[in-house]
């Protein structure tokens, strides 16, 4: 099985978390799994701007060049993806959230539009209007 681990630990002092994931990688590899382990805090990943260029201009790929391209390539070819980060008040780290946002190009861009009186509205919003 091909497994991708996204390590979203932002704190270099939290070595226990990194040690736990490193031990997990070793155990998974002993079980004949192929494991790719990304340490997100060491990578250059820009924020998603919400421009939808990854759907409209360069389908399936963010228009901004950063390390997210390598992550998307591994995620799409994986059988299993593990999102790992210490939780703070119930939420993942900012590093992991930024990376999760950069996975948007992997989703199918199905947008239906409806035009009513020269106003463009997404079709999922028309349920409340019509």
Q: Residue 44 is part of a domain; what is its CATH number?
A: 3.40.50.360
Phi, psi of 18 (to 5 degrees): -65, -40
Whether the Cβ atoms of residue 9 and residue 86 lie closer than 8 Å to each other = yes
pTM, full prediction: 0.79
Query: In this predicted model, what pLDDT tens digit does every residue of 1-59 receive, in sequence order?
Result: 999 999 999 999 999 999 999 999 999 999 999 999 999 999 999 999 988 888 888 88
Residue numbers of the domain that contains 50 = 2-129
What is the C-alpha separation between 92 and 84, in angstroms, rounded?
A: 8
Residues in a beta bridge with 14: none
User: How many structural domains are present in the chain?
Assistant: 1
Calculate the CA 84 to chain-centre distance: 12
What is the C-alpha separation between 130 and 128, in angstroms, rounded?
A: 6
């Amino acid at each position: 099985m091909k497994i991708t681990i996204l390590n979203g630990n932002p704190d270099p002092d939290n070595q226990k978390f990194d040690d736990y994931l490193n031990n997990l990688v070793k155990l998974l590899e002993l079980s004949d799994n192929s494991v790719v382990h990304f340490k997100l805090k060491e990578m250059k990943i820009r924020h998603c701007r919400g421009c939808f260029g990854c759907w409209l201009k360069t389908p399936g790929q963010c228009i901004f060049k950063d390390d997210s391209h390598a992550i998307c390539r591994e995620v799409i070819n994986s059988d299993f993806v593990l999102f790992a980060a210490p939780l703070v008040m119930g939420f993942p780290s900012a590093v992991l959230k930024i990376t999760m946002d950069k996975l948007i190009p992997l989703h199918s861009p199905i947008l239906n539009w409806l035009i009513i009186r020269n106003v463009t509205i997404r079709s999922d919003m028309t349920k409340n209007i019509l």
